[in-house]
Every structure is written in structure tokens, then in C-alpha cells.
Amino acid sequence: MSKRYNEKRFTQYCNNLISLSNSAKIEYLSRFHGKTRNAIFKRLPSYLQIRYKDIFNTISKNKIKESQKASAKKRRNIIRKFLNLYKNNTPCKYCGENNCFKLSYHHIDKDTKLYPSKGMSTIVKKCSLDIAQQEVDKCIVLCHNCHHMFHYKGYKTSMINKYKKLQNRKKTKQEWKRMYRIRNKILVILYKETLNCIKCQDNRESVLIFHHIDYETKTNRISKLDSITAINKEMQKCVCLCRNCHEEYHHIYGKNFSNIKDLTLYLNFNPSPLIVDISKYKEQLEIELL
């Protein structure tokens, strides 16, 4: 009785399939499990099997891709949970910061890194939990401020030295552009020395960052802009945050997203954008070059 019922059911499936268009066939067949699809395919006449073979193949490929994506997502979530749990139990080695959102991994020896030019996000994307555990063993936990301070040592002096070298020789057009970019970077550094984080009042220049109040008004990163006027315009859409507060904000409200409502909730007051003109710091730059 069950066999007869199954045969009737599969003949109904086959009749439904024949009456549909190609795009509708894909939608119809994708509802079924793999074994059911194979059974429908076997019951079709041989000339229809040849005609519909590509449709069945595309569906099976799509299903495999979907299952692979689902398993990869599950693996990434497991690794993220492990990394966050480890950070929850380990404060920053230098300053003792214990907020998980403000912490990051720093490799003790950069030569032992699995991916030398990339961070832990690549481990999450590409590797298994065992490899992630091995990578964590090579690291210490630092807050974003301390981590950046560690890698930022001597950045200002190196920029000034590069600017001096370019200033004291004949230059091609590209070298002129490069020199002006370096000069603008130094002017931004000198401006940051007068600022502090509006959330935690940290005034160390090396940990400060410009955060756009409304992400939709953002045209480009400030570091990628060439002219002083473009930098001034972009800065006037921003507020100053330290790296810890910046990371915490984006962990709470989402990456590549910002608006005035969420920022006021985070800061507990309505922030006003920066009023800035970095060309004022040209005189100070000349003093630094001496």
C-alpha cells in the first residue's frame, strides 16, 4: 500500500515538474531533500532526464554550497566564542583593562604568526578551532590603546625624517605629492596633540582616532585624503575618540555604522563636531623640522 502511494506521489511530482518553466522548476525542486530529488529524476522518461539533467545538477551544487556556508558559519561562531571567552578571563597585560570589547591579541614574536600581515580575523575565517588555540598561545592580550601604542612607537619622528629627506632634494611629480601627503599627516598628528577622547578623556595622541558622527556623510578615510581643505572638511564631520572607546562603540552598535542617536546614547550627551583648520599648525611643523 505504501509503495503504491509513493509511486502515485512521485508521478504527481513529475507531472508538476513538467508543467513548470525552467526557473520555476529550480524553485520547485529545491524544496525537496536530495534523496527525493534523485527518486523524481529516476522516474522521469529518459528524454526528460537528458533535458533536465543541468537543472538537477545546479540544484545539487547550490545545496552543497548552502550546507558548506552553514558549516563555515558555525565554525566561525565557535572560534569567535572561544576568543571572546579567553579575553573575558584575561585583562590587558599593561593597563589591566578587562572590557572584552576593548581587548585584542598581540603576537609576542611576529615571526611565529601564521598569517604575518594579518590579524585574528583571518584565523576566524580560514582556520579550525585547534589552530586558533595554537595561535592564542603565541599571544598576549592587550587593550586597543596599549596595542596601538606598542606598534606606534616613533611614528611621528619617522614621518618628520621622511619629510626632511624629500624636502632637501630634487623631486619628481610623484615625490612632490608624496611629500605633501606626509606633511598633511604630520599636521594631523600635531592637531591630535591638542585633543582628547570625549568619552574617557585620554589625551595620548597615538591612541586618538576620528569617528564620523553620521556614517552616511563619510566620503573617505582621513589618512587617504591629499589636500588640507579635504582633510578639514572630513574632520568637521567627526568627533575624537580613543581606540578603546571607538572599538567598544562599533561592537555595541555595529561595524561600518554610526548615527547621532546611537552616539548620544553611548556618550550620554549630544556631541558637537570638530572645528578644525590644520593649516594653522604649519608654523609648529617648521619648528619640529629644526
Full-model pTM: 0.77
pLDDT tens-digit profile of 221-260? 898 888 899 999 999 999 999 999 999 999 999 888 889 9
In a domain, residue 77? The reply is no
> What tens digit of pLDDT does each residue of 121-160 get?
889 988 889 999 999 999 999 999 999 999 888 888 899 9
Query: What is the span of the domain harbouring residue 137?
Result: 90-150
Of 131, 150, 169, the one marking the end of a domain is: 150
Average pLDDT over every residue of 93-99:
92
Same domain, 136 and 257: no
Q: What is the pLDDT of residues 177-225, one digit of tens each?
A: 999 999 999 999 999 999 999 999 999 999 999 999 998 999 988 988 8
The residue-averaged pLDDT of 264-278 equals: 92
The answer to whether 124 and 79 have CB atoms below 8 angstroms apart is yes
Same domain for 228 and 246: yes
- My answer on whether 158 and 268 are in the same domain is yes
Residue 83 placed within a domain: no
Structural domain total, the chain: 3
Same domain, 126 and 48: no
Cα separation, 257 vs 98, whole angstroms: 25
Residue 3: the pLDDT is: 54
Q: Does 213 share its domain with 96? A: no
Q: Decide if 81 is inside a domain.
A: no
DSSP 8-state assignment for residue 61: H
Do 256 and 168 fall into the same domain?
yes
What would the DSSP string read from start to end of 104-123?
EEEESSGGG-SSTT--HHHH
Same domain, 199 and 233: yes
Specify the length of the chain in residues: 290
